[in-house]
Structure 1
C-alpha cells in the first residue's frame, strides 16, 4: 500500500512562519522505519490549492491511505485535506491523529465527517499496528486507541495504548516535511525573531493539571536522555545552520539536575535558546546558570495576578511566587515571556481588575493579555458543556472554539474586561527609540526596519516583520519588546482597497477582533454604516471599535453581506472552509493581508 502524510495548510501566504508539526514528523519517521511506503506533502510550502495538491499527490503516487492531523484550532485546515481526498478518490482510507482527535474523539470525528480512523493519544505505536492491519486486511478492533465508524455510531476500541518510550524514537522527519524551507522564515512569536530557528522536543507530557490546559501526549511526564537530545542537536547542526533553538516541551525546567547538565553541555555550542519554566523553580542561581548557557528567553505561565483565580485554575502557584521570580529574571537582564488570561470560572470584576492593575504596575515586564479558551479535553470544556454554556460540541469545534462566557460577570463587565485586553498591550509598549529606516513589502505583507532599542540603545535590524500578526518586535540584545509600527502607507493602501470593495459589494464585514486589528481600526478611523465587525465569540459582542460595535456573525446572513475580510491572517486557512460553508451568500472571502497587494482588484 502507498501512504501519503499531509501537513495541513495553516499559513495564509507562502513564506510565512508556522509551528513545525513535530507530531506528524515523528509519525512519518516511525512509518518509514517500519518499512511502509510513505510519501509526504507539506501544503505550507506549495502554491496550488489544497484540492489540486491532494489530487496531484494521489494520482502521482497511487495513494491508498492518507494521514494527517493537528490541533482542534486547525479544524478547518484538517477537514479541507480529508474532504479534498475523499472528493477526488472516494475509497481512499483516511486517518487523523493529534490533539483534535485525542481531546474529544467522538465530537471531532463527527465534526470532520470524512475520517475513516481516528488515532487517540500518542500515535507512534498505534499507527504501526493500524497500518499493518490495513496492509494484511486484518481486523482493527483489538488495536487500542483507535476510533472508527461502525454503522451510524462511532466505536472506540477497548484498552489503552502504552505510553511511547521517548528514548527509542527515530529523529523527526525534518527533511521529508520541509524544515529546510521553514527555517528561511522568521518566527512571529514573542521571544523569537531569528532566521534558522529549530524546534526540539526533549520531553513529553506534563505532571500538572491546570483547568485550561490539555496535554495531547498525555499526563505522564517523560524526559528523553540528554545523550539522545544532543545527538539530535548535533545532527541539526551538521545539516543546517542553527542560530536559535526553540525547545517545545510543555515544561522544560522540571528536573534541576537534568537542567544543570543541559546547560553545561549546550554552552559550548554557542547558540541561543528558549524554553518553558515554572515561576516556583526560579532562583538567582538558576537564572545565572541559564544566562551563562546562552538562554535568550524563559517562558512562564503567569495566567492571573489574583490568588483566587490561580487556585481555581489549579495552577499550584501564587502571585507572590510570580512577583519574586519575575523580579529576579528582569533584574538579571534575561528575556522572558508570559501571559495573563482572563475569564476563568471564578473571574469577577474584582479579580479581573486586580490582575489588570498588577499588569499596569509591572508594565515593564511586557506580559501579554488574553482571554481563556475553552479547548476540548480540558476541565473548563467539561464544565462549560455540563452547564449548557457549550450546547453543541460538534459545532463548537467547527467554529474553531470561540471564547465562552464561563464566569458570572455581567455583559457590561465582560465588555470592559475585553476592551482592556484589546487596548492596553500596544499602549504599554513604545516604539523603538529611533527608526532609522524601513522598507515595506506589500505583496508579502511585511517590512524590514532598523531601529534603536529604547532600553539598551542597541541598533536592531528587524526583518520580515509581518503586518497584522507581529504585535511587537523584540530587541535581540536585551529582550525588550516594542510595538510594531503601522506605517501610514499601509493605512492608505488598506483604505484605498476598502473603497474598491465597498463600490463593488455595497457592504463589508471584518471577521475577528484582536489587539493588532483593534489598534489598526483606530488608525483607519472608519465611520461607515456599510462596514460591520463580527466575531464568533459572544464575549466580544458589543465592544466599541472604530465608530461601530462588534456583532454576532449572524449579521452576515441577515444583511446578505457578500464580502468578508478575516482580520487575523494566520487563522484564515482554518476559518475559510467553515465560513464559506456557513454563509453561502459570501461572494468574496479574503484575508486582510490581501488588501496590501498592488494588484488588488
Structure 2
C-alpha cells in the first residue's frame, strides 16, 4: 500500500513564500508532532516504514508544478493532509485540487484543527474524509478501510470509526464523534527526526529549520548562561504534555483533557537532541505545562541533570507557586509565559480562564523575582470588551510592572481575538449574524479572515462596538498603564511623577521584539509576511506607529487630560482606518473586512460604560461565560446533518 502524509503551510494561499521564511523567528519551526504520531501508530499496527512517504510541503514550500509532479510520480492509495490551523483552508483547497488531478482514485483525508470546518472542506474541496480530534486510531482504521474499499464512501462501515466526518450518497454531512484517544501507555510526544528528514525529500539541509541559535532568541539570550563557551548552541522544540485542563472560549482544542508525557522517554529524546543536533536549549511548546506538578518537577530535574536551559511558552498562572517557580529556576528554567489575556475579571470569566487577576500578578512577580523572563500575553476584543475593561487591563499591566520593578512597556504581546471554528466564540459569531451559517458564507470567512498580517487588521467585530472604540482598545490599555504607573511611582517618590526610564528608552522597549505563542514576536511576524510577499505599493500604519513611538512613552502625554487626548487619538486611528480601506480596495487585501458588519450586534451587557470619561461605573449584568450564552441561544437542529455540524463546531 502506498501512503503519503503531507503538511500544509499555515500562511494564506496568496502569500508568495520562499524557503527563507522558515529560518526566521525567535524559535525554531515546530516539529510535525501530529504526523510523526500517526506514523508511529501505523508502525505499531503492522504497517511498514517503506509503505509511507512524508511530503513536508510546509517546509519545502513547493510550486504547483512540483506538487503535481510529485503525486503523478508517487500515485499513493491514500493521502493525509495535516491542516494544523483554520488559516490553511485556501491552501488545502488548492493542493487538494492539484492532488486530485494527478491521482483521481486516491483517498484524500484531512486532519488537524481545520477539520472543525469539515462541512465546508468536504463540500468545497476535493477532500473525501476529515478526521476530528485525536487522529492516530482513526487514521490506521482508515488505512485498513482503504485497502478493502479504495476511495468508495461506505457510511455503514465508516460509521463505526470514531473521529470521521464525510458526506453520504445524498450529500448529507455525517460525523461519527471525536476521535478516540490512544491508551496512555502508547502515547508518544517525541518526534521522529528521521521521518522529518525524509519529508524534506531532496533538500535535507532544511532540517536546520527545526533548530535555532539560542543567542539570537529573546527567550534565552537574556540569561548569561546562554553565552557560555561550552554550551551547545541550538534550541529545539519539545512537547512535554498534550492538551489543557481549561476550555477557554476562544481556543481551538485538538484534543480533550490533559495528558502528561512519559518522562524517561522525554529524557532519552533530550539526550538524542543534545548529541545529534547540538541542542543546549529546550522550548516546551505545551498548551499547559505544569498542571501535573510531579511530572513537571521531574522534567525540570532532567533539564538540570543534562545542563539544558529551558523555557515553557504555555503555562497557567494558577498552576504555579513561589516554591514551584523557585524549583524551576534552580533547575535551569529561564522563561515562562502565562496566558493572561485581560485585566478585567468579567472578561476573564467570559473566557473561562478560571483564575483571578491577582493570581496573574503573583505568578509574573514570582518569575521576575527569580530572574525568569515572563512576557504578558494580552487578548482584546472579546464580546463584552469595553473601554472600561481595556482600562482595567492597562491597570493590570502597570500593577505587574510596579510589583516587579519593571516598566509596563516591557515584555508584552497585545493581540485581538479571532473566532476559530470549533470554539464558542465562533458559534457566537454565527448566532449574532456576523459570521454566516451557509456553506458559501463560512467558506468566504475561512478564505478571508486570516489574510492580513496582524490580528487587529483581521478583527471580527462580534462585540458590537463602534470602529472608533475597538481600534483604540490596545492603545488605550498602554496609555492607561503609563498613567497609572507614573502616578504610583510619583506617589512613592513624594509626588514627583517620574519614571526610571526616559521616553526614548520606553520607545526602545516598546519596539523590542518579544516572543508570542512560542514562535515569533508580533513584529517579527509582520516583517516576515511583508518581506515574503510582493507588495505593489508601500503602506505603513502611520497613526498607530506615531502613537506607539511618541505618545505612549511620553510622561507629558500622560499628564494631558483624557478628555483632550483620547478623542484626538481616536480620530487619528479612524483616519488611518479609512486610509487602509482605500489601500485594501486598490490591492484587494482583506484588511478590516469583518470589523464593521452589516448586521448590528447587541453588546453584552447593555449597561456597559459608554465612555471612559464617566467617573462612576455603570452597573452591568454579570456574565459568567460566553459558552453559557451560546448554549442558551442555540436552536434545536432541524436535521441530523445539522446536528452533526453543530456537534463538530461545538468542539472538544
Residue pair 1:9, 1:42 contacting (<8 A) in 2 also = no
Matches within 5 A, 1:99-498: 99-101=113-115, 103-111=116-124, 113-137=125-149, 139-151=157-169, 153-158=171-176, 160-169=178-187, 171-178=190-197, 180-185=207-212, 191=219, 196-218=234-256, 220-275=257-312, 276-360=314-398, 362=401, 363=408, 365-391=410-436, 392-400=441-449, 402-417=458-473, 420=476, 472-473=512-513
2: CA distance, partners of 1:114 / 1:389: 28
SS at match of 2:176: coil
Residue pair 2:448, 2:590 contacting (<8 A) in 1 also = no
SS at match of 1:230: helix
SS at match of 1:297: strand
2: CA distance, partners of 1:514 / 1:346: 26
Q: Structure 1 unaligned runs (5+)?
A: 427-453, 456-469, 476-480, 502-507, 523-539, 568-601
Q: Describe the shift of the 1:8–1:553 C-alpha distance in structure 2 as closer, same or farther (beyond 3 A).
A: farther
1:121 deviation in Å?
0.8
Residue deviations 1:450-507 (CA, integer Å, cap 9, x gap): xxxx99xxxxxxxxxxxxxx964469xxxxx9988x99xx9xx99xx98xx5xxxxxx
TM-score, normalised on structure 2? Answer: 0.65
Residue pair 1:370, 1:421 contacting (<8 A) in 2 also = no
Tell me if 1:13 matches 2:26. Answer: no
SS at match of 2:54: strand
2: CA distance, partners of 1:93 / 1:423: 55
Residue pair 1:145, 1:156 contacting (<8 A) in 2 also = no
1: CA distance, partners of 2:308 / 2:415: 31
1: CA distance, partners of 2:541 / 2:187: 40
Residue pair 1:330, 1:365 contacting (<8 A) in 2 also = no
1:85 deviation in Å?
0.9
1: CA distance, partners of 2:541 / 2:163: 36
Q: Describe the shift of the 1:337–1:72 C-alpha distance in structure 2 as closer, same or farther (beyond 3 A).
A: same
Structure 1 vs Structure 2 CA RMSD: 4.2
Return the match for 2:41 from 30, 33, 38.
30
Q: Describe the shift of the 1:514–1:186 C-alpha distance in structure 2 as closer, same or farther (beyond 3 A).
A: farther
Matches within 5 A, 1:19-98: 19-34=30-45, 35-36=47-48, 37-46=51-60, 48-49=62-63, 51-69=64-82, 70-98=84-112
1:53 deviation in Å?
2.6
SS at match of 1:373: coil
Higher relative contact order (CA 8 A, sep 6+): 2
Residue pair 1:191, 1:336 contacting (<8 A) in 2 also = no
Residue pair 1:199, 1:246 contacting (<8 A) in 2 also = yes
Q: Describe the shift of the 1:27–1:509 C-alpha distance in structure 2 as closer, same or farther (beyond 3 A).
A: farther
Residue deviations 1:73-110 (CA, integer Å, cap 9, x gap): 22223333222212333332211101110x33323434
SS at match of 1:68: strand
Residue pair 2:38, 2:135 contacting (<8 A) in 1 also = yes
2: CA distance, partners of 1:396 / 1:375: 10
SS at match of 2:19: coil
Q: Describe the shift of the 1:365–1:167 C-alpha distance in structure 2 as closer, same or farther (beyond 3 A).
A: farther
1: CA distance, partners of 2:538 / 2:571: 14
Return the match for 2:579 from 546, 549, 559.
549
2: CA distance, partners of 1:547 / 1:106: 34
2: CA distance, partners of 1:200 / 1:424: 37
Residue pair 1:273, 1:295 contacting (<8 A) in 2 also = yes
2: CA distance, partners of 1:424 / 1:176: 50
2: CA distance, partners of 1:309 / 1:259: 29
Q: How many residues align?
A: 482
Q: Structure 2 unaligned runs (5+)?
A: 12-16, 24-28, 151-156, 198-205, 227-232, 402-407, 451-457, 483-499, 502-509, 516-520, 552-569, 593-652
2: CA distance, partners of 1:190 / 1:381: 33
1: CA distance, partners of 2:544 / 2:142: 44
1:56 deviation in Å?
2.5
TM-score, normalised on structure 1? Answer: 0.70
Residue deviations 1:502-555 (CA, integer Å, cap 9, x gap): xxxxxx4869999889989x9xxxxxxxxxxxxxxxxx9994577962217872
1:127 deviation in Å?
0.3
Q: Describe the shift of the 1:329–1:349 C-alpha distance in structure 2 as closer, same or farther (beyond 3 A).
A: same
Residue pair 1:7, 1:43 contacting (<8 A) in 2 also = yes
Matches within 5 A, 1:528-567: 543=573, 549-551=579-581, 555-556=585-586, 561=587
1:176 deviation in Å?
2.0
SS at match of 1:301: strand
SS at match of 2:471: helix
Match of 1:4 in 2: 4
Residue pair 1:167, 1:228 contacting (<8 A) in 2 also = no
Residue pair 1:422, 1:518 contacting (<8 A) in 2 also = no
Q: Describe the shift of the 1:221–1:339 C-alpha distance in structure 2 as closer, same or farther (beyond 3 A).
A: same
Residue pair 1:191, 1:297 contacting (<8 A) in 2 also = yes
1:300 deviation in Å?
0.3
1:295 deviation in Å?
1.0
Matches within 5 A, 1:580-599: none
